[in-house]
Structure 1
Amino acid sequence: MPPTQKQRNESALSAVNVLYFLIAFRICNALLIRTFFQPDEYFQSLEPAWDIAFGPSSGAWITWEWRERLRSSLHPLLFAGVYQATTFLAESLHLETTTRAELLLAAPKVLQGCFAALTDFFIWKLAEKAYGRNSQASHAALFLTVFSPWQWFCSTRTLSNSVETTLTTIALWLWPLRNDPKQPGSNARSLRAALALAAIATILRPTNAIIWIVMALYTAAPGADINTTRAFWTLAVECREALISGLMVVGVSLVSDRSYYGEWTFPPLRFIHFNVVQSLAVFYGRNRPDYYLTEGLPLLLTTTLPFAAWGCWQALSSRIPSADGQKLTRPLAISVIVFIAIMSLIAHKEVRFIFPLLPGLLVLAAGPFSQFFSPLLRPRTMVKKGLLILFVTVNVVFAIYISQVHQRGVVDVLHHLRHEHENRGSSNTTVMFMMPCHSTPWR
C-alpha cells in the first residue's frame, strides 16, 4: 500500500530534522578540529580563495600547482565567496580586526561543515534507496557515518576530496536503478542531475570518472532483466545525458578557469598528464601496490572494515534480499573494486584519494551491521552488546585523538604567532620555519 499524505509529510519532517541535526553536528565538528592533516587543505583551496577574494596583493601563498594550471578554480571559488560575504558582514557590523580575523578563519569551516552534513544525509538516503525507508539497515548507515572516525577527521576539512565525496554521494542517490520501472522522463531528469554532479566531481578530481564509468556500464549491461535492445537504448540515453551535463559543466569550468588563470586552459587534462602520464606525483612519495588494501581501507573504515567486506561479498554473491537493493549494492561493490584496482596502479597513493568510496562502503556495511547487532543498537546477547559498546568507544577515542592531539602543534604555532603579532602591534613580524615546506597553514 502506498504511503498516505500524512505519512509522507511525517517522513519529510523527520528527514528535515535529521538534516538540521547533521548540519549542527558537522559545524561543531569543523570548529573543533585542532590538528593538521594535509597541506592541500590550505594551499589548494583557502589560499587561492583568498587570492580570488582579496586580490594578488593580499598575501596569499600560491603554490606551483596553480602556476602550472593543474587545479580547477571551481573549488576555491566556493570559499572566495564565503570570504567576501564574511568581510561584508564584518564591515557592516563594524567589527574589530581581531574578531574579523577569527570570523575569516571560521567561515570556510562552517561551509565545509555543511558539505559534510550533506554527505552524511545522503549516505542515509542512499541506504534507504538500497534497503527501504525506515529499515534497520538505513538507520545503521546513518549511525556508521556519524560515528566514523574518518568522517570526523576529514569530511569537514577544506580538501577537494571532501567536496568530491559530497557530490559523489548525492549523485549516487540520484542515479536511476538498473531496469527501473519509474517514468522515463523522471529517470532522465534524475540521471541528468546525477551526471551534472558527477561531472563537477570529475572536474575537481579526474579519477572520480572511474566510479561513473562503472555505474553507467552496469546500468546498461545486457542481462536476464535487460535485453540487448533495451541495454543499447539505456546506454544511448546515458551517453546523451552525459554529453549534455558534461558540456554544461565543462563550459562553466572553462569560463571560471579563464577568469582565474587569464588564459584558456583545462586543468583536469593537465592534472592527468602530470600525475598519470608523467607520474611526477612520486615526488611526494611512492607506495606499495597493496597500499589501499593494507593501509588505505583500514584507515578509511577502521572498525567498520569487516562489515564493509561482508557487505561487498553479499552484494557480489546476490545475497541482498531486496531486488532494488541488489541493483544498487552490486554496482557499488564493483565500483569499489575497480576504483581501488586502477588507483593501485598509480605510484603515489594517499587515503584521501579513495575518500569518495566511503559512502558506498558504509551503505554496503550497513546491511551486515544491522543484521549482526539486530535489533539495531539493542542486540539480544551480552557479547554483542559488549562488542557494540567497544565499537563506539574505539571510534570515539580514535576520532578525539586524531582531531585533537595528533599533529596539533603545527596548527597551534600559527595561532600563537598571530596573537603575538597582534599583541606587539608592529607592522612586520619575521619567523623562520626550519621544517619541510607547507608543513603548517599559512594563516
Structure 2
Amino acid sequence: MNEGQHRNGGHAMKDVHTANDVHTGDEGHPGTAGRYTVISADCHAGADLLDYRPYLEKRHHDAFDDWAATYVNPYEDLLADTADRNWNSARRLAELEADGIVAEVLFPNTIPPFFPAASLMAPIPTREEYERRWAGLRAHNRWLADFCAQAPGRRAGIAQILLNDVQDAVDEVRWARENGLHGGILLPGVPPGSGVPELYSRAYDPLWAVCAELGMPVNHHGGSASPPLGEEPAARAVFMVETTWFSHRALWHLVFGGAFNRHPDLQLVLTEQGSGWIPGVLEMLDYYHGRLVSAASRAATAESKFGAGLAASMGRGPSEVWQANCYVGASFMRPHEVPLRGRIGLEKIMWGSDYPHDEGTRPYSREALRAAFSGVPAGEVAAMVGGNAARLYGFDLAALAAVAARVGPTVAEVAQPLAEPPPDATSPAFAPGGRVRVW
C-alpha cells in the first residue's frame, strides 16, 4: 500500500500501572499459575529490504528501485537463513513463546530505504539526502505499525526519527502515537561531527514537549551514538571501549540541559547499555552538579562561570531527575548487576532478551532469568521482567495473563540457581565472572 492507503494499525493499550503492578494471584505471587509475565524491553524487528517499497510514497519508487538494485547489506545476520525472524510474525511469536516471553518492545534492526548502513550512525551530507532517508524512516514506521497490528497488545513499536528537522520529527511522533506505536521514539545519537545540535540544546524542546504530552518514551539504544572509527583492529577495540560511554552521554546532556525541568513528564530509557554503571555515574553527575552550583554562588572563583544558571535550568539534581524521569532497558541483565537494583531503582529496571540478535538470550531466556534472579523476591523479579515495562510502555497485563499462564516461566523455576550455563549459549548473560562497572 502507498502512504495514502495506509491503514491505522493502532490498538489501544491500558496506560495506568503502578511500579509493581504485575499480574498477581490471591497468594501474591506473579500469575494465577505462579508464572511470570515476561515482557522483553529490548527486541528488534524490521522489514525485508524490498518489502519497504509499498510503504514509500510513489514519487520515491524509482529511486528506491535504483538503490535496492545495488545495495549490499553489510550485516551477516540479515543475510542468513534466520533473517526472517525480523519480519515473520508467526515465527517470531512462536520463538518468543517457546522462550517464555509474552510481549516485546520493538527497536529497529533491518536497513531502511536509502541508508548506506545502520540508520543511527550514518551521516547526512545534504538536504536532498535527508529527504530520501526521511522517506525511508517513515516507510519503516508505517511497516512497523502494520507489523505490531499482527499481534495486538503484544508489541510496542518504537518509531524512528531524525534530528535534522525538528518539526518533521514532531509531526512523526504524533503520527506514531495515532497509529499504535506506543513504544515511543528512538533517539538518534549525536556523535561529534554529526552536524546537528547537541542533545542539551533547546532546539529540541518541541520534540521533548510532544513526547511528554503524548506519553511517548524517548529510547536511546546502546551503540547508536559513536562516531565512525574505521575498521582497523585498534578501531574496533576502541569502539568496544567507547560505545557505551557515547550512549550514556544522552543522560547527562538532557539532565544538565534542563530538558526534564522544562518537560517534567518526559521519559528517557537507556537500553542495552548495561546497568551496573548507573549508580557510579549518578554519583559523578551529582558531584559535578553540586560543585558547579556551589561555585556559581561565589563569583570570585574560577569555576563560577561553569555553573552559572545551572541550578535554575535543571531544577533538581541528577539523581532526583533519574528517579523521576529515567529508566534502563537492562538487556540480558547479569548476576553482578542485580544486587544494585536498590541503588538503580527497582521500578526503573526492565529486562530484555535482545531477540533476534546473536548476543540475545534466546533460546535460553529461562536460564538467563535463573542466572540473574534466583534468590530475588518474586515480586521484585516480576517488576523487573515485566511489570515495569508494562507500566512504561502501556501493555495491558490482564490481557497478557492468558498467554503468560501458558508459556511464562514459573516462580519456582526462576528461583532455582543455574549451576552451569548452556554450553552453546552466546549471550553475555552467561559470561563468567563480571564486575560492576562505574564508568
Higher helix fraction (1 or 2):
1
Normalising by the residue count of structure 2, what TM-score does the alignment of the two structures yield?
Answer: 0.25
| Greater gyration radius | 1
Normalising by the residue count of structure 1, what TM-score does the alignment of the two structures yield?
Answer: 0.24
Higher strand fraction (1 or 2):
2
